[in-house]
A and B are shown apart, each in its own frame.
Chain A
C-alpha cells in the first residue's frame, strides 16, 4: 500500500514471501485465530515434500513463462505505471487528435462486430428441440438421479441408508421391506424427491455400492408437482449379487416384486390414498 509502484513486476513467490516453504504452505500460525483452538502442528519437511511434488521449487522458483503457441499473445499490460501507458492514444494528443483517434477506436470496434456478422458459421444457437436427436450432454452432467439396474431390473441397494443420512435436505426417502425374503434388510421403495433435490451429488459420492448415478437427461419437467417425487427402483427385494446366489429361478422370482415409480411414499401415492386432498403441503415426508 505504501509502494503502489511495485505492482506489475513479475512476482515470484520467493521474492514476495521470504519463507514460503517453511512452516507449512498456508497461513502462518499467528493468523490462525487460534485463540480458542489447538494450534496445528507445524509441517515437517517430509510433509512439505509430500505435499508439494516440486519441493525444490520453493528454493528456486521455476522459470516458467508463457507456453509456446501464444506467440501472438499481446504483452499483458502492466498496471501501476502512469495510466497513459495503458491506452497511449487517449492522452498526450491534442483535441483534434483525440477526436480523430476516438473516431478510429469506434471504427475498430465496428470492425469487430462486423467480423462476427460476416461469420455465420460461428452462430452458437442450438435449436432445441429440433436438435434432440444429436444432443448429448456430458455423461457426468447431473440431470436425473437413477438407479443402476442390471438387465433384469435388479439393483444393488443394501438399505445401508448412508445416502438418506447424507442428503442435506431429506430428498431421499428409503423404505425397507417389512418381510425381507432373503437378506436381513431389503429395499422396498427408494423415493427421490426431485422437487427438493439440490443436485449436490453427495448421495452418488457416498454410496458404497455405486447404486446411484446421475443421468444426463434434463427433460424432467412435468405439469403436476406430485409427479416430482418418485421411486427409482424397479424391483423391491435383495441386491442382484444376492439374487444370483439363489439356486432356482423360482426362488429368484419369489424374492423380488416389481415397483412402479409412484409406489411408496411419493406425493402422488399419498394424494391417491386420500382422495380429498388435492395437493400435499409441499413438505411431506
Chain B
C-alpha cells in the first residue's frame, strides 16, 4: 500500500509551487488537526482508562455524565479549568509554570511524528526513531523541573525517582526500537511501516520480534511512569509525587501529557512491531489479503493501538509497584542484557537473512 505525502511535505510543496498562502493553509490544517486529535484522543483515553479500570474492579465507572459517561472527562477538564491556580509559597514561579508545558511539549513533539495512516502523518522525520527517543528524554525535564519547583520534599523525592527511572529505561527502550530498525533498514517511521507490508515484525522477525515488542512495552511503561513503575507519582506513598503541588490547568497539562504519552507508546509499538497502518497480509493468500485491504488503514492502526493500550491498562490494574532499587535492578541487570542479546541476535538474523522475505 503506497503512502501518501505527509502534511509537512504538502506544506513544503505548496510553498514551492503555489506560494505562501496554501503553505500556511496546510500548516494551519496540521496544527488544528494535531490539537483536535490530542484533545479528542486524550479525553477518550481517560474515559477508556476509567471504564477499563472499573470493569477490572467489578464496578461500572462513569455512567452519568453523557451517554456511558463519555462526557465525564469533559466535565473534569472544565472543573480543572475553573480551579484556583495555586503556586506554593517559596516555589519558583517561573519553573512551576513551565514544568507542565515542558512535559506537554515533549509529548506533542512525539505525536506529530507518528504515522497514523498513509496521509495522516504530520512530519516524517528522516531519523524518526532517534528523534522519538530524544523527545521522550525531553519529557523527563518536565518532571524534574516540576518536582524541584514545587518547594516540597515529597515532590522532590518523586521527581528524583522519576528522573533516574526514565533515563535508565530509555536505554532498554532504544534497544527494543533498534531491533525493528535493524530489520526494516531505516530510521524513518514511514519506511518502517512500508517494510511491514508482507508481515509485521513481531512475527516476521523470528523470536527477536516478540522479545523486542515485550521489551518495548515494559521499558515504555517505565518511561511513561505507569504502574508497575509509577513510583514517581506513587499515590499511596508520595500523595501525588512530583505533581502534588499542581492544581487546575497546570495539573491538567501533566495529566493530559501522561495519557497522550500512553497513546504515543502504543502508537510506537504499533508502528514498529505491529505494522502501523498496514493491514494483515499473510503470504500466499491473495484473496484474504484483498479482503484485509478493504479495512481502512486508520482503522487498522486504531485497532492495534487500542490493543496495546488495553494491555498497558491491564498491567496497571493488576500489578503493584516496584520499589526504586528493584526498578533499577530490573533495568540494568535484567532488561539491558536481554536487550543487547536481542539486538545482536537481530543483527545476526538480518545479516544471515534468516527471516521470511529477506533480501
Contact = CB atoms under 8 A, between A and B. Distances in A.
* A–B: direct contact at CB < 8 Å: yes
Interface of A: 99, 106, 109-110, 112-114, 116-117, 120, 122-125, 127
Given A109-B319, A110-B314, A112-B318, 12 more contacts: A106-B318, A106-B319, A110-B315, A113-B314, A116-B55, A117-B56, A122-B58, A123-B55, A123-B58, A124-B58, A125-B60, A127-B60
8 contacts: A117-B55, A117-B56, A122-B58, A123-B58, A123-B60, A125-B60, A127-B60, A127-B63
A113 B60 contact: no
B318 A113 contact: yes
Nearest to B333: A95
Nearest to A112: B318
B57 interface: yes
Interface in B50-104: 52, 55-60, 63
Contacts of B315: 110
Interface of B: 52, 55-60, 63, 314-315, 317-319, 334
Contacts of B59: 123-125
A101 to B, nearest CB: 14
Given A106-B319, A127-B63, A113 B56 contact: yes
Nearest to A121: B58
A112 B55 CA distance: 13
Contact of B55 (A106, A109, A120, A127): A120
Contacts of A124: 58-59
Contact of A113 (B63, B317, B334): B317
A117 B318 CA distance: 12
Contacts of A116: 55-58
Say what secondary structure dominates the interface of chain B: loop
A79 to B, nearest CB: 22
A83 to B, nearest CB: 19
Closest 4 CB pairs of A and B: A125-B60, A113-B318, A125-B59, A117-B55
A58 B59 CA distance: 48
B49 to A, nearest CB: 13
Contacts of A117: 52, 55-56
B51 to A, nearest CB: 10
A99 B337 CA distance: 13
B64 to A, nearest CB: 9
Contact of B318 (A110, A122, A123, A127): A110
A124 B318 CA distance: 19
A114 B318 CA distance: 9
A220 to B, nearest CB: 24
Contacts of A106: 318-319
A114 B314 CA distance: 8
Contacts of B55: 116-117, 120, 123
A125 B60 CA distance: 6
A58 B55 CA distance: 51
Nearest to A106: B319
A114 B310 CA distance: 11
A241 B224 CA distance: 75
B305 to A, nearest CB: 19
A108 to B, nearest CB: 10
A112 to B, nearest CB: 8
A238 B60 CA distance: 53
Contacts of A120: 55
Contacts of B318: 106, 109-110, 112-113
B231 to A, nearest CB: 18
A124 B315 CA distance: 22
Contacts of B57: 116
A121 to B, nearest CB: 10
B162 to A, nearest CB: 23
A177 to B, nearest CB: 51
B214 to A, nearest CB: 9
A123 B63 CA distance: 13
Nearest to A109: B318
A35 to B, nearest CB: 46
A119 to B, nearest CB: 8
A217 B27 CA distance: 63
A117 B55 CA distance: 5
Contacts of B314: 110, 113-114
A112 B58 CA distance: 12
A117 B52 CA distance: 8
A35 B59 CA distance: 57
A116 to B, nearest CB: 6
Contacts of A123: 55, 58-60
Contacts of B334: 99
A110 B317 CA distance: 9
A149 B170 CA distance: 74
Name which of B56, B59, B317, B318 has the most chain A CB atoms within 10 A of its CB.
B318
Contacts of B58: 116, 122-124
